[in-house]
Structure 1
Amino acid sequence: MFDSSSLVLFTSASLLLALAPGPDNIFVLTQSAIKGRLVGLVVTLGLCTGLIVHTSAVALGVAAVFQSSTMAFNLLKFAGAAYLLYLAWGAFRAGAESLNEPVGRERDLFRYYLRGILMNVTNPKVSIFFLAFLPQFTHPERGSLSVQMFVLGGLFILATLVVFGGISLLAGVLGQRLRRSERVQKWLNRAAGTIFAGLALKLATASR
């Protein structure tokens, strides 16, 4: 279906794109630093689940709706911006936490998993990006375009898991040291709130 050179090029591009500063990897960075690497890894899984949704949207033609309909694009982006503002509000209100508090409870981890999904799915620019990016590596003569899209989407998700997983581990180690100080914990929360608010503003003012 794909030749080796196309797969190497696509995978390399995916890794570089995952490394480029953006809302998702910044989100992973802040959550890992504040809550620990386990939460960061769970958020990463949520974001990658969101990428499955975007891949499906492109493969099935749904993403074209966001590219052609201003109303659909605006509705989704404002929903995403509102969610980011909600996260910012929560971060500004958060106080210091004890390092002895459990952070691996199933209910809490599932909440962060859902947070990752919502963060990714409510950004219509991801679908539009996939709509522009994935078809460049497909070839009608090599079989079903939808199947090719899903394969490429899977490779992109794998690259994202590797990069974001690395970010989670590094930020989690650094954050564990920083969180030993209540003052630093509060500063990290305020910094995260500011970042979330900035991302909300960026998303709310985004255009297709």
Structure 2
Amino acid sequence: GRTAGLVSALGLGTGSLLHAVAATLGLSAIVAYSPMAYAVVKYLGAAYLVYLGVGLLRQRAVRLADAVPLQLSLSRVYWQGVLTEILNPKIALFFLSFLPQFVDPARGSVAGQTLLFGLLFHVTGVPINMLVAVAGSAIAAWFSLNPVLERIRNWLSGTVLIGLGVRLALSERR
């Protein structure tokens, strides 16, 4: 529901902060420049997306009136968001390829500026993800009124996640 989506958005935000810290410490550079480290993160991320997609495909659709609320703890939802963000190698590459163009060594600590830009990424990204969560929960509630629509939503979402996982696994490094 909406609360889980908002908590997931916070998890994604935490993941982006961890990427910012990793970039500041130079850990993202290891992922970017080490083919082995990049491959490990890429395949873990791909496997996680496929895992989530298969979970959706296996979910049974029920009418909202007949549904027993899924008792997924908000803590688990939060950590799923963190994992989703951390296991995305493209985020590490973003912090290494996009953010440095805004860092000016003449203006002080490069690490401090990198961390500041990572924080700005977080501060702008979390509200956007929260907006998507609120809109998504409204759409999901509408789908939940009809088990056929719910099944279609699960099938589409699961297929998209599996497709993204496969695409990530097969993607070439640029």
Q: TM-score, normalised by structure 1?
A: 0.77
- Check the 8 A contact 2:11/2:80 in 1, yes or no: yes
SS at match of 1:52: helix
SS at match of 1:207: coil
- Check the 8 A contact 1:123/1:203 in 2, yes or no: no
1:140 offset after TM fit, Å? Answer: 0.9
1:111 offset after TM fit, Å? Answer: 1.3
Q: Distance in 1 between matches of 2:33 and 2:134?
A: 39
1:207 offset after TM fit, Å? Answer: 2.7
- Check the 8 A contact 1:77/1:122 in 2, yes or no: yes
Q: Which residue of 2 aligns with 1:165?
A: 130
Deviations 1:149-193 (A, max 9, x none): 111111111111121111111121122122111111111111111
SS at match of 1:49: helix
The one-letter code matched in structure 2 to 1:181 is N
Aligned residues: 171
Q: Which residue of 1 aligns with 2:171?
A: 206
Q: Which residue of 2 aligns with 1:128?
A: 93
Q: Distance in 1 between matches of 2:128 and 2:86?
A: 19
Structure 2 segments unaligned to the other structure (5+ residues):
none
- Check the 8 A contact 1:80/1:123 in 2, yes or no: yes
Q: Which residue of 1 aligns with 2:106?
A: 141
Q: Which residue of 1 aligns with 2:139?
A: 174
Q: Distance in 2 between matches of 1:96 and 1:164?
A: 26
Percent identity over the alignment? 36
Q: Distance in 2 between matches of 1:187 and 1:152?
A: 40
1:97-108 superposed matches below 5 A: 97=62, 98=64, 101-102=68-69, 108=73
1:1-208 superposed matches below 5 A: 36-97=1-62, 98=64, 101-102=68-69, 108-208=73-173
Structure 1 segments unaligned to the other structure (5+ residues):
1-35
1:120 offset after TM fit, Å? Answer: 1.1
Q: Which runs of 4+ in 1 moved over 3 A?
A: 97-103
Q: Distance in 2 between matches of 1:90 and 1:164?
A: 22
SS at match of 1:189: helix
Deviations 1:70-125 (A, max 9, x none): 1111011111111111111110110125456446x6x5211111111111111112
